[in-house]
Structure 1
Amino acid sequence: MKTVTIGDVAAQAEVSKSTVSQYLNERYDYMGEKTKQRIQDAVEKLGYQPNIVARSLKQKSTKTIGVIVANILHNFTTEVTRAIEDVCHESDFHTIICNADDDPFKEKHYIEMLRAKQVDGLIIFPTGDNRDLYQKMLDGSYPVVFMDRELEGVEIPSVLLHNSKAVALAIEHFVEQGYRRIGMMTTSLKHHTTPRIERVEGYKNTLKNNEIPIHDEYIISVDSQSLQTELEELLHLEKPPEAMLAGNDLVLIETLKYVKHKGLRIPDDLAVIGIDDVSFASFYTPSITTVAQPTFKMGKAGAELLLNKIQMKKEIRNSSLRFEPTLMVRDSV
């Protein structure tokens, strides 16, 4: 099947190739409506598709960014990437989304693959274990932004939550409701992931500020498949927690599964607060108190930050943007 060229469109519309090029690039300033219509009719009749690769080489831009997420199953990730895509769409940029599964090897593969495809920049939820690769991009002035995480010593701008404040809101609410034995569960800390580390530290600091003893056995940080087993052991201690903070949405889901399986009552048997305002929190019975992240604002900020770096619109400071959490009080405490 013969490839339709810009010359074929020009001949069909009875105009020059430069006029067709101006039309395809939406430069209509000196183009009459009849000329535009003839070109449009020719494009449709011939089934012409612009050569994106050739255009990218000419413009030195693919108008595409890559987004490498840590775990696409998180509610936070879904909402942030949706906001990123919205901003890019408005700016006529495309997005390619890759899921690294918190695996440094997959992350490295995706970084190399996306750069080979000549994407104009990257938004990365970093695993933290590819420092040399991050630094190489930074040294080469390649546009990159971190989301949800930051790395000490790597001067790449980051967009993330005030994680310590998020935990403080939850623990303070537990304390106000009379709870003193408060546990916390989060997924594994083995990759030193920023939000998990900061939330555990925030938990300890808030307990100290309220003169509540810290019990190490009340703090669980394991892979998601082990959460229910660990919760079983925790709640069968001689003095188990009366309240539980779920460090993210996946932990909250595993906690609620355990509660249902064991026939426990929330909040009578166990009070619960989750970080991330998941969609089911408001209509679960009882409704679940959560700490909400401004996910769409964070995604929008990350996308705008990257596009500004790509388009060199203004000087970008390599510092973090921190967003404020909000406590959504419901019936689980």
Structure 2
Amino acid sequence: MEKSKTNITIADVAKRAGVSKTTISRYLNGKFEFMSAESQQRIKGIIEELNFRPNNLARSLKSSKSHLIGVLIADISNPFSSILVKGITDYCKQCGYNVVVANTDNDSEKEREYILSMIDQRVEGLIINVSGDNNEFLRDIAENHVPIVLADRPIFPTMFDTVKTNDYQATIDAITYLAEEGFTKVGYFTEPINNIGTRMIRQQAYKEACHMLQLEPQEYVIDSKDESGIENQVQQFLAHNQGQTNAIFTANGVTMISVLGAMHRLGLTIPQDVAICGFDNWPWMELIGPGITVVSQPFYDVGVECVKRMMFRLEENSKSSPEVIELESQFIIRGSTKLKK
């Protein structure tokens, strides 16, 4: 009588594949070194054929490992977050790990509570898109509990492995492009900095670009929930620069959609009344007006690289100095910044 599929074991998979139980175990834990692509595909096919599901609880008790990674996201409503999390979960699965995800709403207290809860669930590591106000708490967690990798938002001074895009150079390049296109005034619109590393870097890069290009720095901090306030700020920028060729650079996608909404309500035409570009390439941006010029960031790849760095910490070297890994962004030019000459 054929064995019930619910009772299939690693030994059954190994026998069918013609390999050792150790090889199957290594496959399940994402350790593919010394394993050919052909062997990986054969094992994968047999696992699917037998409908084999490893007993994660038994594996974790035997190895004293949970095979869980905790993921904390500052704002899950931001479209970039879902792409980042997909990159993390896809690669964790390849490595034999599951994920526990929490949304902190950029709230430092929630961040601490979720981290402690995840440690109680025996996560082996934490990948965090930080709120910006828990540096010493995070240091204690990394020193006494589990390794931490930061996604997108760095902490200063560097104390954890961090995977991010080339924010500083991308901002410099974007402002330089606007100046070369003939825009004489470039306003910088951002959400509150709030000790968030990415926002700090982009703000500093904007100031540096203005200094290099001899542009007047003009910064506006918006509240994305205050529509009338944003309208007033856009009007202030234009009133201050009458008779100039004006452009607005937004620090992230949330700021971009907030400013675009204000421009629409004010009846402004892009780019004739004011040009606009900024960070984050949300899918609809090529459909708005003449299309929005953007700095497109490889968020999926950021997620993947975070997991790779976590696996390095868990399986190879937990004590080496932290590294900051920067991935290249892409500057996509569309009609929102093209002046008729």
TM-score range, shorter chain: 0.7 to 0.9
Alpha-carbon spacing, 1:21–1:322, altered in 2? closer, same or farther (3 Å): closer
Within 2, Cα distance between the matches of 1:28 and 1:140?
A: 42
Alpha-carbon contact 2:75-2:106 (below 8 Å) kept: yes
Q: What does the per-residue CA deviation read over 1:104-139, in whole Å, with 9 as the maximum and x for residues that have no partner?
A: 011001101111101111100112322232111222
Partner of 1:285: 289
Match of 2:19 in 1: 29
Q: How does 1:245-260 map to 2 (within 5 A)?
A: 245-260=249-264
Higher Cα Rg, which structure: 1
Which deviations, in whole Å up to 9, do the C-alpha atoms of 1:251-309 show, x marking residues without a partner?
Answer: 11111111222221100111000211111122222111001112222211111111221
Alpha-carbon distance between aligned partners in 2 of 1:246 and 1:49, rounded to the nearest angstrom: 47
Distance 2:175 2:64 in 1: 51
Q: Structure 2: how far apart are the matches of 1:233 and 1:327? A: 26
Q: Find out whether 1:272 has 2:276 as its counterpart.
A: yes
* Residues 1:155 and 1:233: Cα distance change in structure 2 (over 3 Å): closer
Q: Indicate which of 186, 207, 210 corresponds to 1:207.
A: 210
Deviation of the 1:22 alpha carbon: 3.1
Amino acid at match of 1:200: Q
Counterpart residue type for residue 219 of structure 1: E
Please give the per-residue CA displacement for 1:176-221, whole angstroms capped at 9, x wherever unaligned: 111111101111112x11111111111111011011122xxx3122
Per-residue deviation, residues 206-250 of structure 1 (Å, max 9, x unmatched): 011011122xxx312233213651342342453248210111011
Q: Is the 8 A contact 2:281 2:295 kept in 1?
A: yes
**How far apart, in 2, do the equivalents of 1:186 and 1:178 lie?**
23
In structure 1, what is the equivalent of residue 63 of structure 2? Answer: 59
- Counterpart among 109, 112, 115 of residue 111 in structure 1: 115
User: Which residue of the other structure, out of 165, 178, 181, is the alignment partner of 1:177?
Assistant: 181
Aligned pair count? 305
Give 2:33's aligned residue: none
Where do 1:1-333 residues align within 5 Å? 13=3, 20=9, 22-23=11-12, 29=19, 52-140=56-144, 142-153=146-157, 155-190=159-194, 192-214=195-217, 218-226=218-226, 229-236=229-236, 238-240=239-241, 242-312=246-316, 316-333=320-337
Match for residue 35 of structure 1?
none
**Whole-Å Cα distance in 2 between the matches of residues 154 and 141 of structure 1?**
19
The farther-off stretch of 241-250 and 194-203 is: 241-250
Separation of aligned partners in 1, 2:304 and 2:320: 16
Q: Which moved more, 1:137-146 or 1:20-29?
A: 20-29
Matches of 1:156 and 1:290 in 2, distance apart?
29
State the Cα RMSD in Å: 2.9
Residue 202 to residue 20, structure 1, CA distance change in 2 (3 Å): closer
Contact 2:234–2:263 (CA<8 Å) still a contact in 1?
Answer: no
Q: Is contact 1:228–1:255 with CA below 8 Å preserved after alignment?
A: no
Secondary structure of 1:145 counterpart: strand
Which whole-Å CA distance do the structure 2 matches of 1:181 and 1:226 have between them?
24
User: So what's the TM-score if we normalise by structure 2?
Assistant: 0.80
Q: Which amino acid counterpart does residue 117 of structure 2 have in structure 1?
A: M
With normalisation by structure 1, the TM-score equals 0.82
SS in 1 for 2:276: strand
Q: Is the partner of 2:285 in helix, strand or coil?
A: coil
Distance 1:315 1:132 in 2: 18
DSSP 3-state at the match of 1:272: strand
1:293 partner letter: Q
Distance in 2 of aligned mates of 1:136 and 1:311: 21
2:71–2:102 CA contact under 8 A, matched in 1:
yes
In the alignment, the residues of structure 2 paired with residue 207 and residue 274 of structure 1 have an alpha-carbon distance, to the nearest angstrom, of: 16
Q: Structure 2 vs 1, CA of residues 119 and 264 (structure 1 numbering), >3 Å: closer, same or farther?
A: same
- Which sections of structure 1, spanning at least 5 residues, go unmatched? 1-10, 32-39
Q: Which amino acid aligns with 1:115?
A: I
Q: How much has 1:54 moved relative to structure 2?
A: 3.8
The AA in structure 2 aligned to 1:225 is: K
1:228–1:120 CA distance, 2 compared to 1 (3 A): farther
